[in-house]
Amino acid sequence: MQVTLIGGGMIAHDQILPTLFHMQRLGRIGELQVCDRRPESLERLAAAPNLVRAFPGQSFVPRTEPFADVIGALPAEQLVVVAVPDAAHYDVVMTALRHQQHVLCVKPLVLTVAQSLDIEKEAGARGLMVGIEYHKRFDDRSLMARRRYQSGLFGEFKLGTACLLEKWYYRYSNFQNWFTCDASDAFTYIGCHYVDLVAFITGLTPAAISVYGIRDKFPNGNEGWLWTDARVIWNNGACLNVQNALGFPDAGPGSNTQSLTMYCSNGQVGAWLNHSDDYRGLQYCYTENPGGDGATTYSEPSPDYFQYQDLGGPGLTPVGYGYRSVAYIAERALELQGLAKDARTALLNQWDAAGVMATPVNSRYNEAVVEGARKSIQQDGALIRL
Ligand SMILES: NC(=O)c1ccc[n+]([C@@H]2O[C@H](COP(=O)([O-])OP(=O)(O)OC[C@H]3O[C@@H](n4cnc5c(N)ncnc54)[C@H](O)[C@@H]3O)[C@@H](O)[C@H]2O)c1
């Protein structure tokens, strides 16, 4: 199977391309192309020290033509991986589907329910896969919680609180050009992870949303909703509070702060789940600051998201739930290879129902929540029914 990655930016470098390179090394996938309209993105990716060290002798075919031309030249039923900015997902995903390609798309699939319905319809008519990459689902702790919740051990979710605050230095990046009040907010950008995770664990769906935002200025003077407090009401009446910001101190350990607490009950006794998702038990104090955005001399690194390990070579082996998540979706596309449409549709229906891989059908609540959140934040946190 050929794999074509559209968008060669940060997430391509940090998670997607190393996963695909490793799958190629294992013989699971064939030729790898990366398409980006900016040649400098591709040059940076080709020369990235981590990738060069981890995958000696491996390379991708760089493509700077319009993505539609690159996709249009593919044989049917290969895999197109979409890693362009959120607002461009819809065009790239629909182009891939119309050219009879399977799709892996980074979160969020799209920003409206209507677009997600279009994608479901196009993919369904053609027997094609659209897998959405929410990697927190592949963190073992999420899968543990899901099995235990679904076996009844926690009873029913009642109240919860989650947070994900990125470091302050994000304000100095390209975010200041696009993360403006009219286009996004801290909840829309990062809050979706915990909304999706609570739905994944409990099987509940969001029924209403309210987002209170605080406007703050970027270094270039642009204004963004850089601090948000969201309240998600679920279809059983439960309530999840989610706080997000680009505001965790750069001097703080780890790359951000994030956690999830859920209070549950079976009507007789209470139950409780508490995940620290930034502090995972490791404390390092280096002789000096190793350098890089947000790096600190005292550090609490996560071994769980994405690491390169030396397992004797060649190169380094990517491990972690970031790897597992992308590999899981690519493996599903491999499973569909060579099957007739009816057989593909049967498998796709089975995966929609299993709900492990996010698909347009089984995770549409994410688009509904984002649409509602954008309305609510403009109205001082009004409650929007979904
Ligand atoms: N936790 C997560 O799941 C996670 C984390 C980071 C980013 N993301 C998602 O990944 C996507 C990309 O984010 P990023 O941080 O890598 O952004 P980025 O800006 O670093 O990279 C995007 C790349 O896409 C390229 N691009 C834009 N339009 C294009 C087009 N029409 N054709 C070809 N290339 C085009 C840009 O040149 C750039 O190199 C976003 O949807 C984001 O929400 C998800």
Nearest ligand 1 atom to the CA of 135 is 3
Residue 89 exposure: Cα atoms within 13 Å on the Cβ side: 26
Same domain, 33 and 111: yes
Identity (one letter) of the amino acid at 91?
D
Q: Is 341 in the pocket of ligand 1 (CB under 6 A)?
A: no
pLDDT tens-digit map of 46-65: 999 999 999 999 999 999 99
Do both 104 and 152 map to the same domain? no
Residue 362 domain-assigned (yes or no): no
Residues of the chain by 3-state class (helix, strand, coil), percent to 5 = 40, 25, 35
Residue 316 in contact with residue 308, Cβ under 8 Å? yes
Q: What is the DSSP string of 29-84?
A: ---EEEE-S-HHHHHHHHT-HHHHHHSTT---EEE-S-HHHHHHTSPTT-EEEE-S
343: left (phi over 0), alpha (psi -120 to 50) or beta: alpha
Residue type at position 10: M
Residues 127 and 146 in one domain: no
| Binding site membership of 185 for ligand 1 (Cβ less than 6 Å) | no
Q: What is the mean pLDDT of each run of 10 residues along the chain (386 residues)?
A: 96 97 98 97 97 98 98 98 94 98 97 97 98 98 98 98 97 91 94 96 98 98 98 98 97 95 98 97 96 93 96 97 98 98 98 98 97 97 98
- For 32, the token pair is 């790898």
CATH number of the domain encompassing residue 215: 3.30.360.10
Q: Residue 134's pLDDT is what?
A: 97
Asked whether residue 322 falls in the same domain as residue 290, the answer is no
Q: Does ligand 1 lie within 6 Å of residue 138's CB atom?
A: no
Among candidate residues 379, 357, 365, the one with its CA nearest the CA of residue 232: 365
Task: Show Cβ contacts of residue 153 under 8 Å, excluding neighbours closer than 6 positions.
Answer: 271
Q: Are residues 173 and 298 in the same domain?
A: yes
Which amino acid is it at 42? L
Per DSSP, the three-state class of 230 is: strand
Q: Are residues 323 and 297 in the same domain?
A: no
Phi, psi at residue 111, to the nearest 5°?
A: -105, 0
Any alpha helices (H) in the chain, and if so which ranges?
10-11, 17-25, 39-46, 49-54, 67-72, 89-98, 113-126, 140-150, 175-178, 186, 192-202, 321-336, 341-354, 365-378
CB 60 within 8 A of CB 361: no
What contacts 162, CB < 8 A, 6 or more positions away? 194, 197, 198, 240, 241, 242, 243, 258, 259, 260, 261
Half-sphere exposure of 181 (CA within 13 A, CB side): 16
* Residue 361 domain flag: no
DSSP classification of residue 150: H
CA distance 87 to 91: 9
User: Which pLDDT score, from 0 to 100, does residue 216 have?
Assistant: 98
Q: State if residue 11 touches ligand 1 by the CB under 6 angstroms criterion.
A: yes
**pTM of this prediction?**
0.96
Q: How far is the CA of 11 from the centre of ligand 1 (A)?
A: 7
Domain membership of residue 311 (yes or no) is: no
Asked if residue 38 has its Cβ within 6 Å of ligand 1, the reply is yes
Instruction: Give the Å distance between the CA of 237 and the centre of ligand 1.
Output: 35
Ligand 1 site, residue 137, Cβ cutoff 6 A: no
CA of 25 from ligand 1 middle (Å) equals: 25
Q: Ligand 1 pocket, 35 CB below 6 A?
A: yes
For residue 26, the domain's CATH number is 3.40.50.720
Residue 191 in any domain: the answer is: yes
Q: Looking at the structure, do residues 380 and 273 belong to the same domain, yes or no?
A: yes
Residue 74 sits in the same domain as residue 155: no
In a domain, 307, yes or no: no
The structural domain count of the chain equals 2
Find the domain containing 34 and state its range.
Answer: 3-136+317-354
Q: Which atom of ligand 1 is nearest to the CA of 12?
A: 16
CA 177/CA 378 separation, integer angstroms? 20
Residue 286 lies in a domain: yes
Question: Is 99 in the same domain as 160?
Answer: no
Q: Is the CB of 7 under 6 A from ligand 1?
A: yes
